[in-house]
């Protein structure tokens, strides 16, 4: 069944079970392929997504509704805002969510959709922050616009799920927002250090401490490493001006 057609309370329920992200770690006894040597040393390793992030907002709106209103791009900020929305659009349009649900035994729920989206948004945010002060703080602006686009989409989808229960939806999205802020810190720590730290971050947040198949965890660690390195290869034009975001096929990991 399509995730958007299920009752809202059931879809978001699992999000309500975890108001904070645990600091627990998976048991690595049988996790031989991940070691303490694979530390990411690229420029993105010093870029953090988790600093002064915009919140979830109170009003939702379709991404394309915003883009249709932009008929001319007269300023650099407007251009960057549009590019940021297009980056987010690349996540929801190009990712094969159903494949990810099946590959990692994730339930087909709104919460699972959000966890997948969140991870990819975080990777975009890390790449955006590589465009630092030499670009006039373009990176921070793009990062915030990407998050703005995500919450606009989340609000719209949630309201479509349960249009008669807007107040409850708003409360649940606020909980998601708090979890999102914590997830950014967790993922930032993971990308800075070795594979085991990153695996712990993914286990706690993406898998919600319910992953018993360590092969799945290994795949996700490799996927995140490879994807962030690919994003790093994009120059300013192909990232910020005319985004050319390609998401890696899991079969290529």
pLDDT at 127 over 50: yes
Residue 18 has pLDDT above 50, yes or no: no
Phi-psi group of 195: left, alpha or beta (phi > 0 → left; psi -120 to 50 → alpha; rest → beta): alpha
The residue among 226, 214, 219 whose CA lies nearest residue 32 is 214
For residue 209, CA distances in Å to 122, 153, 203, 216 come to: 19, 26, 5, 13
DSSP per position, 97-148: HHHHHHHTT--SSHHHHHHHHHHHHHHHHHHHTTS-GGGTSHHHHHHHHHHH
Position 123 scores a pLDDT of: 98
Cα–Cα dist 66/48, whole Å: 27
Give, in degrees to the nearest 5, the angle at Cα 183 between 85 and 129: 50
Looking at the predicted structure, is the pLDDT value of residue 110 above 90? yes
- Considering 69-78, 126-135, 209-218, the range whose residues carry the highest mean pLDDT is 209-218
Query: Is the confidence at residue 8, as pLDDT, over 70?
Result: no
Q: Give 56-69 pLDDT, tens digit per residue.
A: 554 445 555 555 55
pLDDT in tens, 130-148: 987 555 578 999 999 999 9
């Amino acid at each position: 069944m399509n995730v958007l057609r299920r009752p809202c309370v059931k879809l978001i329920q699992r999000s309500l079970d975890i108001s904070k992200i645990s600091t627990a770690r998976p048991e690595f006894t049988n996790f031989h392929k991940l070691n303490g040597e694979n530390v990411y040393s690229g420029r993105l390793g010093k870029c953090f997504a988790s600093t002064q992030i915009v919140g979830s907002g109170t009003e939702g709106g379709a991404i394309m509704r915003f883009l249709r209103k932009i008929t001319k791009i007269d300023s650099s900020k407007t251009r960057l805002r549009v590019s940021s929305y297009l980056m987010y659009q690349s996540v929801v349009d190009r990712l094969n969510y159903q494949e990810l649900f099946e590959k990692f035994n994730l339930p087909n729920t709104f919460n699972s959709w959000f966890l997948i989206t969140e991870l990819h948004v975080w990777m975009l945010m890390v790449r955006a922050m590589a465009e630092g002060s030499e670009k006039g703080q373009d990176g921070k602006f793009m990062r915030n616009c990407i998050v703005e686009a995500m919450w606009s989409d989340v609000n719209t989808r949630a309201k479509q799920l349960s249009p008669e229960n807007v107040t409850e939806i708003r409360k649940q999205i606020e909980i998601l927002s708090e979890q999102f802020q914590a997830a950014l810190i967790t993922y930032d720590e993971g990308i800075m250090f070795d594979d085991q730290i990153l695996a712990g971050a993914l286990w706690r947040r993406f898998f919600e401490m319910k992953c018993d198949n360590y092969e799945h965890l290994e795949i996700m660690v490799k996927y995140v490493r490879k994807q962030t390195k690919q994003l790093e290869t994009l120059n300013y034009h192909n990232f910020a001006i005319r985004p050319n975001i390609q998401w890696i096929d899991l079969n290529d990991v």
